[in-house]
Amino acid sequence: MPEPKSAFDATYPCDFYEPAELFEPDQMYTIPEIGRLLQGLEPDAEVDPDTEAVLVDWAVPWVMVHADDMVVAEPLTEDGPGYYGLATDEDHSGASDTDAESDADSDELDESA
């Protein structure tokens, strides 16, 4: 149920970190770790399950909004979480040969149309 602003003692700007402010360039983080970082906590800080659920709820849209500034990695184990990190120049120059071949094949199809 919405509440009038007058019901609150104070309101604050809704400012969130940018990925470059939040992440170490050489580290990858899970969504729960990102949620902790967004709250100024260490990535491995102990939080109760209810708090972690809220942090995850905040972290998922933050990741989506900042996707252009980030990279993603497959889970380290089959049932493990995905990892996210700050995109760097090295990440963008590391496209695989398979990706390059797919792009070339796609270009050829476009030209023949």
Whose CA is closest to 25, among 78, 90, 75?
Answer: 90
Kindly state whether residue 3 falls inside one of the protein's structural domains.
no
Kindly state whether residue 1 falls inside one of the protein's structural domains.
no
Q: Which of 17-26, 56-65, 82-91 has the lowest mean pLDDT?
A: 82-91
Kindly state whether residue 99 falls inside one of the protein's structural domains.
yes
Kindly state whether residue 8 falls inside one of the protein's structural domains.
no
Per-residue pLDDT at 103 exceeds 90: no
Kindly state whether residue 83 falls inside one of the protein's structural domains.
yes
Kindly state whether residue 31 falls inside one of the protein's structural domains.
yes
Structural domain of residue 37, as residue ranges? 14-112
How many independent structural domains does the chain possess? 1
Kindly state whether residue 19 falls inside one of the protein's structural domains.
yes
Mean pLDDT of 41-55: 96
Quote the pLDDT of residue 102: 45
pTM of this prediction? 0.71
Q: What is the DSSP letter of 29?
A: B
Q: What's the pLDDT tens digit per position in 30-47?
A: 999 999 999 999 999 999
Kindly state whether residue 5 falls inside one of the protein's structural domains.
no
